Amino acid sequence: MICLHKIEINFYENLILNTKQHIIIMSSLSAAPATTTKTLPKLLEALLPAITSRVKAYHTLFSLPLIAEQWEETLHRAFKDIGQNTTWKPDRSHAVGEDMRLEGIENSRISCKSGQFVNDRSLGKTCVKFNGSRSTSYPSLAGKLTHFCESHDDYYFLLAKDKKFNKKYKLLVFESPICRVDQLTWTESSSGKAWNGIGNFKACIGKSMSAQLWTTLPLDMIPYQFEIDCSE
């Protein structure tokens, strides 16, 4: 009986000890800070001052708008300013869509664009109009739309401005699927010189020369908008 009693005591002592250890482990796990996944939108707050500073520095030297490869490099250097490396290289790449991606961050392929503000009557909204890739290699409309809708990039970074340039920009950032052209209803223009797509936004593909895509996107569809004033 004495041995049995000792066995019972040892059993309950071990049970209590194991329970305490389990509580300590669970408490430490719950107290540990949750790891947050780094995403592109989470960088925008820190990125904006770096972009603004560099765009203003550009206009201490130049009066013409910041566009094309100069905008790409400006964005690349702004990311570097906040400690984020990119894959951008000064090689004037003509790859479709992606101009750079952020190292160590998934779904961060960026297409850099310039844009112009327009008041579109048919949409009844203030929009930004910008160009896309060319499609001469695809003779049919279906082939062109399939090409444009392939996954070439994840985000657009548009540096938009008025037609009459006043050194004021709006940085527009949005996910690429927002303006996928397979969402539109497409018809041939009355002149037969272009295809026009209409829906929540508009797009046009000319039939001459490069068969380039032009998109007219309402500003109220764009989630991230930031003013950059270099007129002062």
Summarised one tens digit per residue, pLDDT across range 18-49 is: 444 443 333 443 444 455 688 999 999 999 99
Instruction: Report the pLDDT value the prediction gives residue 154, as an integer from 0 to 100.
Output: 97
Q: What is the mean pLDDT of the chain?
A: 87
pLDDT band (50, 70, 90) for residue 76: very high
* Average pLDDT for 159-165: 97
Instruction: Report the pLDDT value the prediction gives residue 35, as an integer from 0 to 100.
Output: 53
Instruction: Report the pLDDT value the prediction gives residue 94, as an integer from 0 to 100.
Output: 63
Instruction: Report the pLDDT value the prediction gives residue 97, as an integer from 0 to 100.
Output: 78
- Distance separating alpha carbons of residues 200 and 221, to the nearest angstrom: 9
- Distance separating alpha carbons of residues 165 and 226, to the nearest angstrom: 17
Least confident stretch, 33-37, 60-64, 83-87, 225-229:
33-37
Reported as a single tens digit per residue, the pLDDT across 177-198 is: 999 999 999 999 999 999 999 9
Instruction: Report the pLDDT value the prediction gives residue 121, as an integer from 0 to 100.
Output: 96
Q: What is the 3-class SS of 103-142, one letter each residue?
A: CCCCCCEEEEEEEEEEEECCCCEEEEEEECCCCCCCCCHH
Angle (nearest 5°) at CA 199 between 206 and 67: 55
Instruction: Report the pLDDT value the prediction gives residue 26, as an integer from 0 to 100.
Output: 39
Instruction: Report the pLDDT value the prediction gives residue 209, as an integer from 0 to 100.
Output: 72
Least confident stretch, 3-7, 102-106, 141-145:
3-7
Instruction: Report the pLDDT value the prediction gives residue 9, as an integer from 0 to 100.
Output: 40
Crossing angle of helices 68-81 and 44-58, rounded to 10°: 130
Q: Which of 120 and 7 is assigned the larger pLDDT?
A: 120
Return the percentage of the chain with pLDDT > 70, whole number: 83
Instruction: Report the pLDDT value the prediction gives residue 31, as an integer from 0 to 100.
Output: 47
